[in-house]
Amino acid sequence: MESTVIRRVSMLVMLVAPKGPFADDVALRFERARVLLTRAASAAAACERMAEAMPQVVVVLGVVTVEERDALNDRATAVGALVMYVDPSLDEAALQSLVEGAARVAIERSLAREQSSAPAEATTEPPSAGVDVDVTVDDEDLDSKW
């Protein structure tokens, strides 16, 4: 009897936002989608923690400076994460769509990261006796003996 292997996909989203009701609402939506969430209060804090956390998606709420945007993009690219900049004035439907899309991307990126880190299977030639043999079979002979 073969055992079933349970595959756990680590989905991590980093939420970059100061504390507040909007950030708490977004965090709660990610938790309901069963996505692991880590929070950073600022872009600088996110940049410091990104290499350790290795998120698949970084969600930035609010306005960031050009320098912060460049730093976030640089760190996210280094860890293979997608950065999503979110306008805090989104309506409920758009916010829910964003969370669902970010969760889907986190799953896809996690699976891709897992597959790329798996060792490649070696390709081997089939075993033989050291002799290559060509066999010609007549189609009529083959059909009549079946």
Looking at residue 127, its amino acid is P
pLDDT along the chain (146 residues), means of 10: 61 90 88 88 95 91 93 94 87 84 80 69 52 58 57
* pTM of the full structure: 0.67
pLDDT value for 95 = 82
C-beta neighbour count of 5 within 10 angstroms: 5
pLDDT of residue 139: 64
Running DSSP on this structure, what letter comes out for residue 89?
Answer: T
- Closest Cα to residue 69, out of 12, 16, 14, 13? 16
Structural domains in the chain, CATH included, are: 12-115 (3.40.50.2300)
Question: Which pLDDT does position 121 carry in this prediction?
Answer: 56
